[in-house]
Chains A and B, each alone.
Chain A
Amino acid sequence: DTGVSQNPRHKITKRGQNVTFRCDPISEHNRLYWYRQTLGQGPEFLTYFQNEAQLEKSRLLSDRFSAERPKGSFSTLEIQRTEQGDSAMYLCASSGTGGGNQPQHFGDGTRLSIL
């Protein structure tokens, strides 16, 4: 169990640029989640994958955001035409099969700063 890995740890970019983040879940986990955390707040759910299928998207996920999980392994989160309000910590988590009491294991996050 090597844990959930996220890259990069930090991303600084100018407003209007596109950015892509990567998440590698724990290898045997088939569920993968993306959350966004702003300063002083708890994480907010963005989207959820079971294997390669994206089964849920929050209304927080505008059409500038897209997430993929090809082959049900790693996942990418892309933000197009970034805005100041996109500055946040983006967290990825994964969990195994079973009910909702299966704990989600989080990565260290990608901190996005928009100049």
Chain B
Amino acid sequence: GNSVTQMEGPVTLSEEAFLTINCTYTATGYPSLFWYVQYPGEGLQLLLKATKADDKGSNKGFEATYRKETTSFHLEKGSVQVSDSAVYFCALFSGGSNYKLTFGKGTLLTVNP
């Protein structure tokens, strides 16, 4: 079956530090890949997506590149801010008629001033 594995959290960084959150996946076919962010007390917001190999998704300074050879979709940001503190979820859609997303467990990021 499909699965998503994210690096264990929590991750604690100082403001302006470089961020990497690792995500690897197992799926049939060629999945579409997503990063969602969840701020405290809120639902999930789409951060970025990539739909085919070597695509790079980007938004708000965050980037992730779809690497088929390593089945990875690592999230990066060059300089984090306190406002980036949230839980980040990697997810995939691997086809099928129900369009369901399969999520990783999430990684809590805390950015200190």
Contacts and interface: CB of A to CB of B under 8 A. Distances in A.
Given A48-B99, A55-B97, A56-B100, A42 B49 contact: no
Contact of A101 (B32, B97, B100): B32
A100 B106 contact: no
B93 A108 contact: no
B91 A42 contact: yes
A70 interface: no
Given A42-B91, A56-B97, A103-B46, A108 B41 contact: yes
A43 B101 contact: yes
Interface in A23-81: 31, 33, 35, 40-45, 48, 55-56, 58
A45 B46 contact: no
A99 B100 CA distance: 11
A30 B94 CA distance: 20
A100 B99 contact: yes
Contacts, number: 68
Interface string B41-73: 111111001010000000000000000000000
A31 B101 contact: no
B34 interface: yes
Interface of A: 4, 6, 31, 33, 35, 40-45, 48, 55-56, 58, 91, 93, 95, 99-109
Given A101-B32, A106-B43, A109-B43, 5 more contacts: A41-B106, A43-B89, A56-B97, A103-B46, A108-B41
